[in-house]
Structure 1
Amino acid sequence: MGFDLATDLAARRRQHRYRQARIMDGPSGRHALLGGRQYLNFCSNDYLGLANDPAVVAAFQQGAADWGVGSGASHLVCGHQRPHQQLEEALAAHTGRQRALLFSTGYMANLGVMTALLSKGDAVFQDRLNHASLLDGGLLSGARFRRFPHNDGQALASQLARSEARRKLVVVDGVFSMDGDEAPLVDYAEACEGHDAWLMVDDAHGIGVLDAQGRGSVFTQGVNERVPVLMGTLGKGLGTAGAFVAGSDELIETLIQFARTFIYTTAMPAAVASATLVSLRKSREENWRRDTLAELIARFREGARALGYTLMPSQTPIQPLLIGSDVDATALSEALREKGFLITAIRPPTVPEGEARLRVTLSAAHEVEDVDALLAALAQCQPQDV
């Protein structure tokens, strides 16, 4: 039969799930420039508004002038430059860990950790709503793969109790990227401690946003010392690019020796590390960014609830509006775009069947009037069955 790609693509179009990249003609921020028109941007992960912050941009420019635009090699050949080392040390201190290790992307970090720590004879336990990179990392590891109901600590403990695996690794998102809710990390830490398992938290959407200093989910829930493996990304709350894993000296040495996604890839540009050192400092010190987010989140939730929209149980910048059908979610996204708002419709397979939604994301770069304008547009574009 061969590769009948056209049939697969046609089916994706019929399902209203065909994806296309939009070409942006401006930097990430409060506004997005698309096709010659300016939109209020409510679909970026730049939660603290640091991606186009002047001080961060200046640090990137100076880093490029000092270190060039490419590292030239993998970290273990000759690509590990002084800004990389400084950033790893800063991230370790920020997260209260012995060491941290940089990866080019969060996807590569998650694949690298699980394939380095697990193999046949081991077991990995994952929340059903985990990010695709976590699921793929677990599957690629060769370990026995188990999924438990979303945020269900008792179900996890039951699965761990039945497992006779050599190594048991529990892997969860700290903040779930499509729902915006947080994992019950205390429950998970207790389950792991009671059944000789390790807990790994992917805090891509918590770093920078949660905790008074932006240290993320493990600090807000008081479990930092009970989580052996912490992954965080740099391209969301911190506004740059890349990722890191933080933990003990032995963990980091293990990843350096065995994580193929670290060993066999070119190091990120040192200029990115230089910029991240500045954005990390600003995320720690500039509490007004998190204060602004909290105000905007509360205002949006109150307004959307009053309009009759179905909200998810989220107190983070990720504020999904649950619509249901793919067609309705896409139509609402397009109607809002006509009114000058850029918000992506999220459809299966990214989310479960029948749970298509608009993933509204808020940023410290937004103004109160931006949220009010969005709520007014949502009132005008409201689907009949909301």
Structure 2
Amino acid sequence: MNYITEKLRKIKEKGLYRELRYIETSQSPRVKIEGKDFILLGSNNYLGLCDDFRLKKAAINAINLYGVGSGGSRLTTGSFDIHKALEEKIAFFKGAEASLIFNTGYMANVGIITALCNKSWVIFGDRLNHASIIDGCRLSGSKLIRYKHCDMNDLLNKINKYKGSNNLIVTDGVFSMDGDIAPLPDIVKIAKEHSIMTMVDDAHATGVLGKNGSGTSSYFQLHNKIDIMVGTLSKAVASEGGYVAGKKDLINYLKNCARSFIYSTALSPSTIAVSIKALEIIEKDEGRRVNLLKMSSWFQNELKTAGFDVMKTETPIIPIMIGEADKAVEFSKSLLNEGIYIPAIRPPSVPKGTSRLRLSLMATHTKQDLEEVLIKMKFIGKKLNIIGG
């Protein structure tokens, strides 16, 4: 126990100690925490569907029909007809032959990579890939070669140096902490020229980018060019779970070989029903996406004009670079005192020296919400010498 106590002390000294904050309402633009009202600007509920009455109705109807638990893993007693319906829906949504649901996006990445790759594989991954991708690569025993963030020259150099008999390029579609988009056309071109498989995690693009919100492959018009398409149902889709879409042989192989799928109790039918309904709404409601991206662009420009160091982004994820962890935490806490909830992001979620406030907008935020946030951010930013006075 002394070891644990000492480790905690060091974490606190570095400004990296984390505590949970308990939200008492739905994931809406304005929430309650410990009885107090806050504007929420850190949620991945990009389309504002977490409190949508149509999704709540879908969950209630599913509970009435199927009950509340799935009762087993998918390969024993946990597969319902509604699971099949969602997998068919996702396959159509992604323009793929088939799909498979995992309990989380994390479990999808770990399960896919460890099932597919082993010590004979070389995996080329963007340096800023999500932790679940990195963990999957490490657990697979493959040789992981990390290339500089979105740097295609570095990727090509490392392919020429390290390429083996079995190879995979894996990248986020939208990077969760920077908000930028991977250069998929270049990645696909390089992969094709070198006969390398491609895998894209569209967790933060699903529902936000591309035709009908179907993600970065659609955004770049790369239909059927990505071998393994991964995503989550817990962000813009406002539900829970992860998915993979691709060729039928790939999906059948994962059903039999992905341990995080095989040995997990299935998601409850009510959760599956919410995902189906949300995808139906996402496919039809183009206005919600257009409004979100328009509002995000306006807000980003306002922050830049105020003097904040806003990283380049074309998505609802807007990172404000602070640098040191303790200063980022101080900024976040000061905003919290003013009724604005924006989490400070620190190592190990981001590299040392790049701590930031990660703002993320919802389609249901109003201009009035954001104008109020701007006023308070400017005031506190000047007070803490984050922007000029």
TM-score class, shorter-chain normalisation, is: over 0.9
Residue 272 (structure 2) pairs with residue 287 (structure 1): no
2:150 matched to which residue of 1?
Answer: 151
Q: Equivalent residue of 1:179, what SS?
A: coil
CA RMSD of aligned residues (A): 1.1
Deviation of the 1:65 alpha carbon: 1.2
CA contact (8 A) 1:312 1:322 kept: yes
TM-score normalized by the length of structure 1:
0.98
Distance, in Å, in 1 between the alignment partners of 2:367 and 2:189 is 40
Deviation of the 1:164 alpha carbon: 4.3
CA contact (8 A) 2:173 2:216 kept: yes
2:53 matched to which residue of 1?
Answer: 54
2:242 matched to which residue of 1?
Answer: 243
1:306 matched to which residue of 2?
Answer: 305
Count of aligned positions: 385
Distance, in Å, in 2 between the alignment partners of 1:230 and 1:167 is 19
Distance, in Å, in 1 between the alignment partners of 2:29 and 2:123 is 39
Counterpart AA for 1:325: E
1:384 matched to which residue of 2?
Answer: 385
TM-superposition CA deviations, 1:116-167 (whole Å, max 9, x none): 1101111111111010000000000111111000001121122222334221
Counterpart AA for 1:197: I
Counterpart AA for 1:26: T
Instruction: Please list, as runs of the form range in 1=range in 2, the aligned pairs for 1:253-264 lying within 5 A after superposition.
Output: 253-264=252-263
Counterpart AA for 1:69: V
Deviation of the 1:385 alpha carbon: 4.1
CA contact (8 A) 1:320 1:360 kept: yes
Counterpart AA for 1:20: E
TM-superposition CA deviations, 1:156-183 (whole Å, max 9, x none): 1222223342210111000000000000
Deviation of the 1:344 alpha carbon: 0.1
1:70 matched to which residue of 2?
Answer: 69
Counterpart AA for 1:370: D
1:344 matched to which residue of 2?
Answer: 343
CA contact (8 A) 1:161 1:195 kept: no
Q: Equivalent residue of 2:76, what SS?
A: helix
Q: Equivalent residue of 2:358, what SS?
A: strand
1:12 matched to which residue of 2?
Answer: 11
Distance, in Å, in 2 between the alignment partners of 1:363 and 1:324 is 26
Query: What stretches of structure 2 of length at least 5 have no aligned partner?
Result: none
CA contact (8 A) 2:205 2:215 kept: yes
Deviation of the 1:328 alpha carbon: 1.3
Q: Equivalent residue of 1:27, what SS?
A: coil
CA contact (8 A) 2:128 2:149 kept: yes
CA contact (8 A) 1:174 1:202 kept: yes
Residue 25 (structure 2) pairs with residue 26 (structure 1): yes
CA contact (8 A) 1:346 1:358 kept: yes
Query: What stretches of structure 1 of length at least 5 have no aligned partner?
Result: none
1:297 matched to which residue of 2?
Answer: 296
CA contact (8 A) 1:202 1:230 kept: yes
CA contact (8 A) 2:211 2:218 kept: no
Instruction: Please list, as runs of the form range in 1=range in 2, the aligned pairs for 1:93-104 lying within 5 A after superposition.
Output: 93-104=92-103
Counterpart AA for 2:303: A
Distance, in Å, in 1 between the alignment partners of 2:106 and 2:386 is 37
Distance, in Å, in 2 between the alignment partners of 1:161 and 1:70 is 50
TM-superposition CA deviations, 1:93-122 (whole Å, max 9, x none): 000000000000000000011001101111
Distance, in Å, in 2 between the alignment partners of 1:158 and 1:277 is 42
CA contact (8 A) 1:299 1:371 kept: no
Distance, in Å, in 1 between the alignment partners of 2:274 and 2:348 is 34
Instruction: Please list, as runs of the form range in 1=range in 2, the aligned pairs for 1:308-323 lying within 5 A after superposition.
Output: 308-323=307-322
TM-superposition CA deviations, 1:310-367 (whole Å, max 9, x none): 1111010100110111121111111111111110000111111111100000001100
Deviation of the 1:275 alpha carbon: 1.0
Deviation of the 1:194 alpha carbon: 1.2
Distance, in Å, in 2 between the alignment partners of 1:164 and 1:201 is 19
Distance, in Å, in 1 between the alignment partners of 2:301 and 2:162 is 44
2:180 matched to which residue of 1?
Answer: 181
Counterpart AA for 2:195: D
Deviation of the 1:212 alpha carbon: 3.4
- CA spacing shift, 1:3–1:130, aligned 2, 3 Å: farther
2:218 matched to which residue of 1?
Answer: 219
1:332 matched to which residue of 2?
Answer: 331
Deviation of the 1:21 alpha carbon: 1.1
Counterpart AA for 1:367: T
Counterpart AA for 1:363: M
Distance, in Å, in 2 between the alignment partners of 1:142 and 1:376 is 50
TM-superposition CA deviations, 1:184-221 (whole Å, max 9, x none): 00111111111111010000000000023101111111
1:84 matched to which residue of 2?
Answer: 83
Counterpart AA for 1:314: T
Question: Percentage identity across aligned positions?
Answer: 35
1:35 matched to which residue of 2?
Answer: 34
Q: Equivalent residue of 1:232, what SS?
A: strand
TM-score normalized by the length of structure 2:
0.97
Deviation of the 1:223 alpha carbon: 1.8
Distance, in Å, in 1 between the alignment partners of 2:295 and 2:246 is 33
Counterpart AA for 2:190: A
Distance, in Å, in 2 between the alignment partners of 1:385 and 1:240 is 36
